[in-house]
Amino acid sequence: MAKLKVGILISGRGSNMAALIRAAQTTGYPAEIACVVSNREDAAGLDAARKIGIPTEVISHRGYPDRETFDRDVSAAFEKHDVGLVALAGFMRIQSAWFPEHWAGRQINIHPSLLPAFPGLHVQQQALDAGVRVSGCTVHFVTPDLDAGPIIAQAAVPVLAGDTEETLSARILRQEHLLYPLVVRWFAEGRIAIADGRASIRDIPPGASLLFSAEP
Ligand code: GAR
């Protein structure tokens, strides 16, 4: 069966992008990374993608008159590569409503909190400030409402006494790198559906869409 072609959007480091690339290189993985688009020329992730020969494109948001015109060019870049799923991986631009509507049900994001808690920016600091004992990450479909689309899977980690934004971020990030490839696999296998604004995943073991890590 033909592999699902995934287009990744990044703005920076690209460690989630790298995790998806690594997964796609494993035998039997049902998706391939068709291209990586960055809105920033200096995104470190671009070099990592180029080194392994993945097509990359920089589409700087600067110089665009509005969000939608930028979004339409990003979309065209993905369509050129026959992309069937857009995965946001640390893409730090708010999209116009056009993009998530055009890619409805075909665009996912990873966010470093257990949504709907702590949307937006400085997410891990928000969790620390709130004093929660558990945080984590969420993979969800993207809708025009920021960080609010149907939740597909989550990974939970403890928040430990003495945690800083850095230590908590690192603990969550390790789970992000496990969760994102898992969700892309399920999507490529055609297991994920959306009904009534909620996502469901067919034929996976009970609880498989929630990872727990007690590691410090
Ligand atoms: C990740 O923690 C990701 O969840 C977060 O940015 C980081 C990107 O790291 N995304 C968001 O906050 C989106 N709202 P990476 O570039 O190394 O993948």
Query: How many whole angstroms from 110 Cα to the centroid of ligand 1?
Result: 7
Nearest CA to ligand 1 atom 7: 90
Nearest to 89 by CA among 129, 51, 37: 37
> Can you list the domains of the chain with their CATH numbers?
1-103 (3.40.50.170), 110-216 (3.40.50.170)
- The response to whether residue 12 sits with its C-beta less than 6 Å from ligand 1 reads yes
Tally Cβ neighbours within 10 Å of residue 161.
6
Tell me the pTM. Answer: 0.98
- The response to whether residue 15 sits with its C-beta less than 6 Å from ligand 1 reads yes
Query: How many whole angstroms from 112 Cα to the centroid of ligand 1?
Result: 7
Cβ contacts of 152 within 8 Å, gap of 6 or more? 108, 139, 140, 141, 183, 186, 192, 199, 201, 209
Nearest CA to ligand 1 atom 14: 111
Of these residues, 81, 102, 111, 140, which one is catalytic? 111
Residue of 21, 22, 111, 152 best suited for mutating to test ligand 1, as the one with most atoms within 8 Å of CB = 111
Per-residue pLDDT in tens (0 to 9) along the chain, 216 residues = 899 999 999 999 999 999 999 999 999 999 999 999 999 999 999 999 999 999 999 999 998 999 999 999 999 999 999 999 999 999 999 999 999 999 999 999 999 999 999 999 999 999 999 999 999 999 999 999 999 999 999 999 999 999 999 999 999 999 999 999 999 999 999 999 999 999 999 999 999 999 999 988
